[in-house]
Amino acid sequence: MSSKTENGQRGIRISFEFFPPKSEEAEVQLWNTVADLTEWQPEFVSVTYGAGGSTKAPTLSAVRRMIHETPFTTASHLTCVGATREDTHRVIDDFLSAGVRRFVALRGDPPGGVGSAYRPHPGGYANAAELVSALRERGDFDISVSAYPEKHPESRDTAADIDMLKRKADNGANRALTQFFFDNDVFERYHDRVRAAGVKIPVVPGIMPIQNLTQLKRFAGACGTSIPSWLDERFDGLDEHADKRASVAADVAAEQIEDLVRRGINEFHLYTMNRSPLVSAVLERLGIRRKADACEGAAA
């Protein structure tokens, strides 16, 4: 693995995920976060999209603004759950009109939420593999899809889960972005099985810096991510010490990335939760240079 990329950042390539705001206060927080994280020069960023189009308007607004007012290469999430093919096509047209040329193609959670039964909408796309095909037929877009090192909660088994990833790759996906995880051995075993199944696209680890361990556990339980006992040990006794808790959270994420780099991985997708301080602290620990620092180094 090269020690330098074209942008001179240690051989580590990063991307960020944001979600659309639901209030005026959240809107301010999002754009402050975007401004703060611009200096890290991510490869691209993505904006989530609610199941059944529940956040279409705010997602479209956020994506349009990022494309036209920031230096970010921006992808919009797109789902097909709860929609006919015609409905999905209209959503794609709206995003294309906004300038979107990158998508994160997802089936989407069932209307009843994670854990409820999924039923394809009559006349709709049944899964993300079909959605990738639909996008590929529309143009030469950059398409990311999801991957699950610990298996999608609804998949029969890991083999079926990897088979779905292969279908998405065969239909034209450019990369897979994984659900977050904390056990790198689990990811490595999964990555080996993915490659053995003939999936050749990059499988990019999703990294979740821990903003709140209690909330994370609830979220992880719903999406099938295991929480190792050592995380409780790292955060033990820090409930009343916000600064120490944030420092440990940054250490944990940076250590996870460093270990994955040693295993030959150099691309990472960071779930920002629309907050910049912890993400920036992680990148600082990794020795990734901010844009201003990189420019000063080049001029020296």
Torsion of CA 205, 210, 212, 217, to 10 degrees: 40
Residue 295, judged by CB atoms within 10 A of its CB (0-12, 13-18, 19+), counts as exposed
Q: Quote the Cα angle for 292-296-298, to 5°.
A: 115
258 given a catalytic annotation: no
- Out of 6, 17, 43, 233, which one is annotated catalytic? 17
| Side chain identity, residue 62 | A
Q: How deeply is 3 buried, as exposed, middle or buried, from its count of CB atoms within 10 A (0-12, 13-18, 19+)?
A: exposed
Beta strand 203-207 pairing with 102-106: unpaired
Please report where in the chains the tokens 């009843």 appear, as a residue: 112
Phi-psi category of residue 168: left, alpha or beta, with phi > 0 → left and psi -120 to 50 → alpha: alpha
Residue by residue, DSSP assigns 88-113 as HHHHHHHHHHTT--EEEEE----TT-
Give the whole-angstrom CA distance, residue 190 versus residue 186: 6
Cα-Cα-Cα-Cα dihedral of 185, 188, 194, 200, to 10°?
160
Dist CA 14 CA 263 (whole Å)? 17
Burial readout 117-126 (b: 16 or more C-beta within 10 A, e: otherwise): eeeebeebbe
Specify the 3-state DSSP secondary structure of 147: strand
Cα 44 from Cα 270, distance rounded (Å): 11
Catalytic positions: 17
